[in-house]
Structure 1
């Protein structure tokens, strides 16, 4: 696989998970749904994981989320380690100083440029110069985020997908100043997590968000225009194009607010073809955010 960037060419092939290994100590900034999923993935791969959140209550909730995912893995029989062992390798904290011994930290805070920039600066200030730093952004420019850092060459995008425990894809996104060695290592880490990496040059929406949002926005316009019901539009993509889940159900799972934020960013950077439909804005404004709120394009109130 070869990837050209502004300053270099990254070349590599998909690594063998059997010969790959994650860093021994991994940090995750943010313990929400995505952050907890990322922590779970590295924990399952053998790392000691530290999750940092704002406040004791949020940190405790993050620990509960990670351990709930651990319990699901144990119930499926896909883990050889015991719950006690996994729990011992998981730590939560409220201070970024807890990342001091980490070889890699993944930032997983909401998709707001100012918030991510502040978070990444805070993390970098607490890392050893030899440590690596990654953002779980789904659409924001890795090159632009790197401008806030003292060591932009040690920064990369690792775009995990929701829900992390069952998703098998991670986008590895290289910025203009990302060290090619980091791109190689990141692909090996992804393989060690039991997932498949795709290597993407930094561009608006990367590969997955750009394509996924384009399909979702058109599906939303079709609902808005009364072309078909959400159920029938999704059925068309599932049965006609073999998508495992339809674009409107996927939007509910991702979160309508998250989709709107990405669409607004792509609208600004790529033009009117990514303009968010008014229906999407209206649903977000009234709090119908999808699965997490109990209602989006579908009713999720009884979903586990």
Structure 2
């Protein structure tokens, strides 16, 4: 088990979908007690199943040194963030990429958890915009985890204009204690990873649209020619074509037409071909 001395002992994860469950997995496996907040009891139960299944897979692969059921006892779920959770040290939001939704979540969390560090897992939205309604933006930071969280080695630590310097150092320590590597970026559209990843993926889509090569051959060019572990189109299927489209549209608004989504991406999303989660994207799953 990772040394937990630098980790928050009590963590709240707001949202128990794939990303939220992955973040919860990372912290409970490292020794933290984690509460996942979901919108209703059915969603909360599903979050427990996600985390439990993920822990069992890790144990089967030999990457979890404790019994999965023992680790899972450090996880609780609820359907609201209550003010009495005053001992929560870190609250991480993992809800869909909707600015107003995230703002409303953090306004509730700031009131409920007056002493906790507040962190967003956004992959592209401005953290200063998300924090615009907060009374204490100095305790707000971006912690951009990558999917699948348990096996990903990277976390982007995103600093807002008013994030305290001490919090930035604490966040680097937490990431290290999770056994991952932190990169530190300032708040800017797409940060470092999404901006570069989406740029490559959009060009790959244009190449498919223009008949330059098949999706599989384009991905092979990047995995064998440039040593990318996964090609940009398969990655898009894993992330979700709808997610990639939303990020591309946001970057196009912020950075200009070089991020304009190709028609092929729009057509696939309109047809419900969203990648692995629907069984069809650039590949059949």
Query: Into which bin does the TM-score normalised by the smaller protein fall?
Result: over 0.9
1:118 aligns with 2:73: no
TM-score (norm 1): 0.91
- Is the Cα–Cα contact under 8 Å of residues 117 and 145 in structure 1 kept in the other structure? yes
Matched residue, 2:46? 61
Matching residue of 2:238 = 253
* 2:219 aligned residue: 234
Name which of 79, 82, 87 aligns with 1:94: 79
Q: Secondary structure at the match of 1:281?
A: helix
Higher relative contact order (CA 8 A, sep 6+): 1
What corresponds to 1:278 in structure 2? 263
| Correspondences of 1:110-259 after superposition (within 5 Å) | 110-127=96-113, 129-259=114-244
Shift of residue 99, structure 1, vs aligned partner? 4.4
Deviation at 1:124, TM superposition (A): 1.4
Q: Which residue of 250, 256, 261 corresponds with 1:265?
A: 250
**Equivalent pair of 1:52/1:96 in contact (CA under 8 Å):** yes
- TM-superposed CA distance for 1:18, in Å, is 5.5
Unaligned stretches of 5+ residues in structure 2: none
**Corresponding residue to 2:90 among 104, 107, 125:** 104
From 26, 30, 33, the equivalent of 1:45 is 30
Conserved in 2, the CA contact under 8 Å of 1:99 and 1:105? no
Q: What is the distance in 2 between the residues matched to 1:225 and 1:35?
A: 37
In the TM superposition, what is the alpha-carbon distance from 1:72 to its structure 2 partner?
A: 1.2
Contact 1:20 1:188 in 2 (8 A): no
Q: Deviations over 1:9-30 (max 9, x none)?
A: xxxxxxxx75852100000000
- Specify the alignment match of 1:27 in structure 2: 12
CA deviation map 1:253-291 (0-9, x unaligned): 011011001101100000000001111011111110001
Q: Is the 8 A contact 1:50 1:99 kept in 2?
A: no
Query: Counterparts in 2 of 1:8-23, with a 5 A limit?
Result: 21-23=6-8
- Once the 2 structures are TM-superposed, how far is the Cα of residue 78 of structure 1 from its aligned partner? 2.5
SS at match of 2:155: strand
| Contact 1:20-1:191 at 8 Å conserved across structures | no
Offset of 1:84 from its aligned partner? Answer: 3.2
The 2-side partners of 1:291 and 1:163 are apart by 13
In 1, Cα distance between the equivalents of 2:225 and 2:35? Answer: 43
> Once superposed, what is the RMSD of the aligned Cα atoms?
1.3
Aligned residues: 283
For residues 71 and 79 of structure 2, what CA distance do their matches in structure 1 show? Answer: 20
Aligned partners of 2:37 and 2:29: how far apart in 1?
18
